[in-house]
């Protein structure tokens, strides 16, 4: 029996994972990447010995990402952030960040009444049924579960750092609570050497399974046979007008990229128009050392800020150096902040840092995710499916499709869902967060 021919468009981590899984399953896979490098938003660059990711990256240890990578035999090396040196940033001052019963009771960032309220919520967090929260916004959920303003501010900050999203009026509470459950169940992993190590490892698995990888090759369109609901994939047309035949096409990219490959498709164009990308401003700093060694993490309570010394847990800096990420989560109509705004967060966390800068990079508006799981659409279960329903053989992979996870977890889970749909004829059942 002839092997199924599959064209994968896009060499980010999700596309590579789909290629590796399908090639392992016996498909004849060709991956097309328009740039000279694989990785997409998982690329890492080296400057003066420092490893720069595209903004702060973390793998959720209880999430789908590690599960899928594990199936490929990829075991990321890195470290779990420690529980010391962690602060809540409020009104320009650092306060102890509540992380357990003792720190919750001793911190001065909350009133006594708020401490009791937050303690009750966190104690029952793992038992919350997130499926019932799909059409409820995170803002509505916070307002109904917490009576005090300072309680809501702290929990909202925990949601922001877990989801990278500040638009809590749009974000589904289902996605938000599930993500916090995932974070609190097993923490996160900062990857040694940056996320390009994951890209390299998955690429190796894909190639060893027989997948072909074509770099600097732009796909111009998906070639279809038939029209309307009866349309089916025949292959892909490259920029040089050659056609590569395929039984199935997997597009690893955002909704606008999918729509552009099938010109004139009104439903895909609507998906692209309706998508709500998640963005953040980031300041990445390679320092010769830390002026204040004990301060490793700061979470904004009265603003969507975050700062972390990633090299305290992962190998991202040369000996004696420190790799620091500062981010402001953007939501709704927020405009990109100035670099000085992010520097002010560093002033609170690491006074004197400017004298130690070796390398730096500021990105005022970095895309974190291609699509927000919105309450208006039903949350995670309301996201587009991996299979394009009205075009036979067309699939999509990314952090905006499928019913499982957010960020990289969603991207890798959607790659696994494509594998099941093509090789096993069924979707992957959605996993609940560990402890949920």
What pTM was estimated for this model as a whole? 0.94
> 282 - beta bridge partners?
327, 363
Q: Identify the pLDDT of residue 102.
A: 86
Distances from the Cα of 65 to the Cα of 15, 286, 399, 410, angstroms = 13, 27, 11, 8
146: left (phi over 0), alpha (psi -120 to 50) or beta: beta
Q: Identify the pLDDT of residue 227.
A: 82
Is residue 97 a contact partner of residue 103, using CB atoms and an 8 Å limit? yes
Q: At 357, list the tokens.
A: 């800068």
243-245 vs 305-309, strand pairing mode = unpaired
- Per-residue pLDDT 10s for the chain (436 aa) are 689 999 999 999 999 999 999 999 999 999 999 999 999 999 999 999 999 999 999 999 999 999 999 999 999 999 999 889 999 999 989 999 988 888 898 999 999 999 999 999 999 999 999 999 999 999 999 999 999 999 999 999 999 999 999 999 999 999 999 999 999 999 999 999 999 999 999 999 999 999 999 999 999 999 999 887 789 999 999 999 999 999 999 999 999 999 999 999 999 999 999 999 999 999 999 999 999 999 999 999 999 999 999 999 999 999 999 999 999 999 877 788 999 999 999 999 999 999 999 999 999 999 999 999 999 999 999 999 999 999 999 999 999 999 999 999 999 999 999 999 999 875 444 444 443 3
C-alpha angle 120/90/88, rounded to 5°?
55
Alpha-carbon radius of gyration of the chain: 22
Helix (H, G, I), strand (E, B) or coil at 389: coil
Q: Identify the pLDDT of residue 436.
A: 33
Is residue 403 a contact partner of residue 386, using CB atoms and an 8 Å limit? no
Furthest-apart CA pair in the chain: how many Å?
69
Q: What letter does residue 308 receive in the DSSP assignment?
A: E
Alpha-carbon span 322 to 312, nearest angstrom = 7
Q: Identify the pLDDT of residue 434.
A: 40
Note the Cα 233 to chain centre separation in Å.
Answer: 29
Query: How do residues 2-43 score in pLDDT, each as one tens digit?
Result: 899 999 999 999 999 999 999 999 999 999 999 999 999 999
Alpha-carbon span 341 to 116, nearest angstrom = 33
Is residue 324 a contact partner of residue 309, using CB atoms and an 8 Å limit? yes
Q: How many CB atoms lie within 10 A of CB 26?
A: 13
Q: Identify the pLDDT of residue 332.
A: 72
Query: How do residues 365-396 score in pLDDT, each as one tens digit?
Result: 999 999 999 999 999 999 999 999 999 999 99
Quick one: which H or E segment has residue 260? helix 255-261
């Amino acid at each position: 029996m002839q092997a199924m021919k599959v064209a994968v468009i896009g060499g980010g981590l999700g596309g590579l994972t789909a290629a590796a899984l399908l090639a392992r399953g016996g498909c004849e896979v060709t991956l097309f990447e328009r740039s000279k490098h694989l990785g997409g938003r998982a690329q890492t660059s080296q400057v003066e010995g420092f490893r720069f990711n595209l903004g702060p990256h973390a793998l959720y240890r209880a999430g789908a990402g590690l599960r899928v990578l594990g199936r490929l035999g990829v075991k990321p090396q890195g470290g779990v952030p420690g529980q010391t040196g962690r602060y809540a940033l409020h009104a320009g001052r650092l306060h102890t960040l509540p992380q357990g019963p003792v720190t919750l009771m001793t911190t001065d960032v909350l009133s006594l009444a708020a401490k009791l309220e937050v303690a009750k919520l966190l104690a029952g967090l793992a038992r919350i049924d997130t499926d019932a929260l799909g059409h409820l916004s995170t803002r509505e959920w916070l307002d109904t579960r917490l009576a005090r303003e300072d309680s809501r501010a702290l929990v909202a900050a925990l949601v922001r750092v877990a989801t990278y999203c500040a638009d809590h009026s749009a974000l589904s509470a289902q996605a938000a609570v599930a993500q916090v459950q995932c974070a609190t169940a097993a923490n996160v992993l900062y990857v040694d050497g940056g996320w390009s190590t994951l890209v390299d490892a998955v690429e190796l698995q894909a190639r060893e399974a027989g997948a072909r990888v074509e770099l600097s090759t732009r796909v111009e369109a998906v070639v279809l046979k038939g029209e309307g609901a009866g349309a089916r994939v025949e292959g892909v047309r490259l920029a040089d007008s050659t056609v590569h035949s395929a039984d199935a096409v997997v597009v690893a990219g955002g909704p606008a990229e999918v729509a552009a490959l099938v010109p004139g498709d009104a439903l895909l164009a609507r998906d692209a128009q309706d998508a709500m990308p998640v963005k953040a401003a980031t300041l990445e700093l390679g320092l010769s050392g830390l002026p204040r060694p004990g301060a490793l993490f700061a979470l904004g309570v009265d603003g969507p800020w975050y700062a972390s010394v990633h090299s305290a847990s992962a190998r991202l800096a040369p000996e004696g150096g420190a790799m620091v990420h500062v981010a402001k989560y953007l939501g709704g109509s927020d405009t990109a902040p100035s670099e000085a705004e992010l520097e002010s967060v560093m002033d609170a966390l690491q006074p004197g840092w400017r004298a130690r800068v070796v390398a730096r990079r500021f990105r005022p508006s970095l895309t974190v995710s291609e699509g927000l799981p919105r309450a208006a659409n039903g949350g995670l279960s309301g996201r587009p499916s991996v299979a394009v329903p009205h075009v036979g053989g067309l699939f999509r992979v990314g952090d905006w499709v499928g019913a499982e996870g957010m960020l990289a977890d969603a991207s890798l889970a959607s790659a696994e869902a494509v594998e099941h749909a093509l090789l096993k004829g069924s979707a992957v059942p959605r996993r609940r967060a560990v402890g949920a």
